[in-house]
Structures are given as C-alpha cells and as structure tokens.
Structure 1
Amino acid sequence: ISVRGYHRPRHDADFKSEDRLRENIRDTCGLLVMIIHSRVYLLHQTAKEFLVRNNELLSTDYINPNLQWKHILLPHKSHKMLAEICIFCLLLSDDFYRSLLEDLESQPTNNRILFDYSANYWAMHLRESHTKISESMAKSIMRICDVNSTICMDWLSIFWEKKSNTNLPSKLTTLMVVSYFGLDAMVKMILSNMGNDKELNAQDGTYERSALSWAAGNGFDDVVKLLARGRRSWRRKFTLLLLGNVSEINSIDASGRTPLFHAIWHGNAAVVETLIKAGARLEVTDNIGGTPLFYAMSYRREAIVKLLLKHGATPRSGDKMSTKLFFSAVEKGDLQVVQLFIDSGFDIESREGHNMTPLLLAIEMGYRDIIQVLLD
C-alpha cells in the first residue's frame, strides 16, 4: 500500500513498522479482518459476500443506505489497484529491491513477499481489471516486459520457477512476453510499431516457440487473432490475401508442434477455431507421432474434436495409438506429454505391444523427472 509510481530510491517509500501497519488495518477495516502470523484474512466467507459486489449486479439501489460498506468493492477496480501496485513494485526492483534483498539475506524469504506476489500476479490483475491502459501505464508495462532489462528477467524468473516445471526460455522477445500473458493492448502497440515481420516470426532459443505459440498455449484468443493478422501494411495485406499467414500459423517448435497443438492442450476451442480459420494445418505430426486430432481425442476435448473433424481432420486408430504415443513420449523424455497423459487418466501400467511398463522404460532410459511423475 506504501508503494507508488513516483517512488524510485528505496528510502522514498514510507514503510511503516508491522505493529503500526496492524493498527492502520484494524482502524480501516474494523472487525471484518483478522491478522494471523503477519497475514491478513477476512473474518469469514460472509465478509467477502458482504464486501464484494457481483459483476452481474449493475445497480446498488437495492442496498440499505445505512450499510455503507455493503458491496463497496468492485472486482475490476480492485484488480486495477492491485495491478498498479504490482507494476510499481516491479519497476522499483532495480534500485529498491536489490538493496532491500541485500539487507534481508539473513532473514526469512517472506520479507520479500510483495515482490514475489507482484511477479506472479501483476499480469492476471491487469487482465481482470478490463481497464483501458493509459499512455503512462503502457510505458511502465513496456519497461517491465523489456527482455533486455534486468527488471524483466528478475520477475520473470520468479514467475517461471513457480508456474512451470520447465526452464525459462532463452532469447525471448518482448512480443513473446506480452503475448504469453495475454496483454492484447501491448501486443497491438508492438505490432503497430513493427517495420518488418522479424519479431513476429521469432522463436525462443530453448523451445523454439513463437509469440503466437505462447499465446495459443495459454488460451488468449484476442492475442492470437492479433498475431494471426500481424502488422498492418499494404504489402502484408496483399500477401495475406494471396497466401494467408501460413508461415506464422504453422511455425514448428523444437518438439515438432505448431501453435495448434498447444491450443488443443489448453482446451480452448475458440483459439483452435481462430487458428484453423487462419490456415493452421490439421494433418501435421509432432516428433513423437502425435497429431492435433489425436491429442484432442486423447484428452477428451469433445468440442475441439468436432471442430477438427468439421474442418477435415482424418481420424486415426484409438487405444493402440494412445499406448504407442505414451511409450514414445516416455522413451524420448517428453515430460510435458507424459504429464498430459497422466492428467487425462491414462493407464500408466499399460504395456500393450511392449515388454515393459512405462516406469521400467523410464528407468532404463534414465529419465529421473519422468520416473518421479510416474511414481507420484
């Protein structure tokens, strides 16, 4: 609450002692909250129901005038406030949190909880605020998403460590970052300032995924539409009319997968349809033999299966292919596919056509991470 956008050096922010902060919170919130082990909790679920207005309730005429606090919190405004605080906090990371973390080396890690929270949730709060991004806010977002800055790498590494069981990709671009987090306004801004398609077609240095692939994998349809359309120029429009946006839509990553694969894994039918309409190939096979239709069938994405069949995807055999693909994923050490199969309820003891179970195969190949998920 003490962090503001105009703060720069560490001493600018007026941090109160914890005891003083407890008093301020109690004075403001009364009996609606309680503080336990330095964490603030609502007294009861009914407190949330009392304070937070349902988005469907447009009018407050039904509220008794004497109940001044009832439904006083609007979710989109709360998200906007939290987004601003998180962004300001991340902007302070260079000259503020570096010095703060140096002072806290011997202290518990929960002293840096605001920075960690900001790193993990700023983009979510911004999306949920559904607010029009001002010019000053856009500049701030571009600063924290600038992959050439230490600010971006600091918070992104914290986010990635918590949210993913994979390594943070190398050679990311700013377009990839804002696309990954579904920030359509920022994507539009970058596209409008592009002189060519180099960044649009760029792939990261680890998984070789494009901005479109990251956006599709996270289910951000508005961003996918923007990237599929690309930058605006008369030459590009002419090319799109003749050939479509085939190269970007069907860019293949290190695992042999196009953005369509990742959209299917996420389960977002709207994104899948957007990609198909933009020219996504349906009869494409990844490095372990999987096709878009097969993955959709394996993970019971009924709406997506119907969509793929409607647009001409060719069905292939069922259970035998499932087992073959699962063993292929284990043999090649593809942890992501193995985890998807397990999450879908696949029988990991299956050995149809094989002399050993998937676990024995993983042990033989020496894949510790896959052995662990199979044992879990």
Structure 2
Amino acid sequence: MKTHSPHIQQYASLPISILVRILVIIAARPHVIPFAAELAGFLDKRGGRLRETVETVTMDTDNEEMKGLGALHLAAGNGKLEMCRHLVEGLLMDVDIVDSSGRTPLVNAIHGKSVDAVKYLLEHGANQDKVDRYGFSPLHVAAGLGCCEIVELLLARGAYTDPVTCCGTPLHIAATEGQDCTMKILLNHNADYNKMVNGMTPLYFAVNAASVKCVRLLVQPSILSATYTMTVNWTVQ
C-alpha cells in the first residue's frame, strides 16, 4: 500500500473543500507539480464529488485578471501539462469551463503563450470558437498577442477567421497591436480585410498603430483594388 509523503499526511485531516482550494492555489505555481499531483491523487482516494468540488472552487482575489480562475485555467495558463492531464483525464473536468469573465482554459493557455497546453486542450475537445462575455474568441487573443503558432493551431482546428467583437475581428486586433506576423497568417486564411466594424477596416487600425509592416500587408495590389469607405493619408516608405 502506497504511503503518502509527510507533506501530504499533514493535510490528511483537513476537509476536502479546503484541500481542493489548496490544489487550485498551487495550480498557479510553476514548480510544485510533484506535490500537486500527489495531492490530487490523495483527493481521488478521499472520494466524494471531487470533480464538481474542484470545478466550483475559483480564485478569490482583487486582481481582475486572476479573479474567478479555476484549477484548469491556472494549470493551462502556466503550461503545466501534467496537472492539465489529471484534471481533464483523471477528474473528467469540462475543458470549456469558464471563469467569471467567460474565459476558458484555452484562452488562459493562449495568454500564457503555452503552445503545448493549447495543443492538449484542443486535442481534448476545447472549443476553438468559444467567446468570452465580451465577445472575444481565442483567435482574437492569439492574434493580438502575436502568437503565430497558436493562430495556426486554431485555424487548423477550423476556427472562424472573422468573429466580431466591439473591437473588431482578429484582423482588426492584429492591426491594432501591430502584429504583422499573425496578420499575414489571417490574410492567408482569407480573413476579410475589408470588414467594417464601427465604420473602420483593419487598415484604419494599422495606420493608427503606425505599423508600416501591417499597412504594407493590407495595401498589396490585390487589396488596393478593394473599395474603402475611409480616407487614409499615409505614405509607406
């Protein structure tokens, strides 16, 4: 019979709800995978509605970016695949569970720029098009952060290229942030460079961001023939 380490044994008398909170907290730490995995295994043996309990426990903090994040969000955001595997395959957690802002673990993995975590979640059924409460899709986030490999992964899984939020499509977001690399990928996947959002096309945002590279991508001969309803006073040198 396996004997748990002294670190685990000192928590043995605590209620499951407290142990789960500890598990959620350490999911955000980068160097405690062995302890986290052992604690998760210990919780399994304690039984009960463990998955449901883990899913309901989230970060309670004044930090808006962290508020409401659960164990899978934190593990994915930190690229901790071993923890992700235990939560998804061991506890059968919902890969599309959302935080208080409607963000999924996939979005957290993108924010953490963890390509491996993104791959893992997509391979285990994560919805590549699920938007948060503000209408931002995973592709919006990846395009704005300049995560080229992740943009490719999302598109390979069939992500819609032109979802619209208040700030525009992923192409608008890439232009706003001056991310010419992700912009090029989106254009190669037939993103609508003429899409009007609040009366503005991606070209307007590229000009506003003073991104010469993005402007050049948007004023290629094939695009120059398009009709724009805006006037751009810009010289590309």
Q: Is TM (by shorter chain) over 0.5?
A: yes
Match of 2:151 among 225, 247, 272: 272
Q: 1:267 to 1:143 in 2, by over 3 A?
A: farther
More helix by share: 1
**What is the match of residue 111 of structure 2?**
217
Q: 1:266 to 1:141 in 2, by over 3 A?
A: farther
1:168 maps onto 2:168 in alignment: no
* TM-score using structure 1 length: 0.40
- CA distance in 2 between counterparts of 1:142 and 1:262 reads 34
The percent of aligned pairs where both chains have the same amino acid is 21
- CA distance in 1 between counterparts of 2:31 and 2:110 reads 20
- CA distance in 1 between counterparts of 2:8 and 2:90 reads 27
Match of 1:310 among 158, 167, 188: 188
Paired residue type of 1:180: G
How big is the shift at 1:143? Answer: 8.3
Contact kept, 8 Å, 2:27 with 2:36, in 1: the verdict is no
What are the Cα deviations for residues 139-161 of structure 1, in whole angstroms up to 9, with x where unaligned?
A: 237889x9947xx75xx44xx54
Match of 2:39 among 140, 144, 166: 140
How big is the shift at 1:199? Answer: 0.8
How big is the shift at 1:313? Answer: 1.0
TM-align CA RMSD: 4.2
- CA distance in 2 between counterparts of 1:141 and 1:179 reads 16
Q: 1:294 to 1:166 in 2, by over 3 A?
A: same
How big is the shift at 1:251? Answer: 1.1
Contact kept, 8 Å, 1:147 with 1:173, in 2: the verdict is no
Contact kept, 8 Å, 1:180 with 1:215, in 2: the verdict is yes
5+ residue gaps, structure 1, are: 10-90, 95-118, 127-132, 231-244, 327-341, 347-352, 354-376
Match of 2:96 among 192, 195, 201: 201
How big is the shift at 1:121? Answer: 11
Task: Provide the aligned length of Structure 1 versus Structure 2.
Answer: 185
Contact kept, 8 Å, 2:36 with 2:83, in 1: the verdict is no
Q: 1:148 to 1:283 in 2, by over 3 A?
A: same
Match of 1:257 among 136, 146, 170: 136
Contact kept, 8 Å, 2:143 with 2:182, in 1: the verdict is yes
How big is the shift at 1:269? Answer: 1.3
**What is the match of residue 227 of structure 1?**
121
* TM-score using structure 2 length: 0.60
- CA distance in 2 between counterparts of 1:275 and 1:267 reads 13
- CA distance in 1 between counterparts of 2:28 and 2:160 reads 35
How big is the shift at 1:271? Answer: 1.3
**What is the match of residue 282 of structure 1?**
161
How big is the shift at 1:223? Answer: 0.6
What are the Cα deviations for residues 109-158 of structure 1, in whole angstroms up to 9, with x where unaligned?
A: xxxxxxxxxx79962446xxxxxx54x551237889x9947xx75xx44x
How big is the shift at 1:248? Answer: 0.9
- CA distance in 1 between counterparts of 2:88 and 2:26 reads 26
Contact kept, 8 Å, 2:143 with 2:173, in 1: the verdict is yes
- CA distance in 2 between counterparts of 1:289 and 1:277 reads 24
**What is the match of residue 187 of structure 1?**
84
- CA distance in 1 between counterparts of 2:145 and 2:65 reads 17
Greater relative CO (CA pairs within 8 A, separation 6+): 2
- CA distance in 2 between counterparts of 1:186 and 1:299 reads 32
What are the Cα deviations for residues 78-118 of structure 1, in whole angstroms up to 9, with x where unaligned?
A: xxxxxxxxxxxxx8x98xxxxxxxxxxxxxxxxxxxxxxxx
Which structure's CA Rg is the greater one? 1
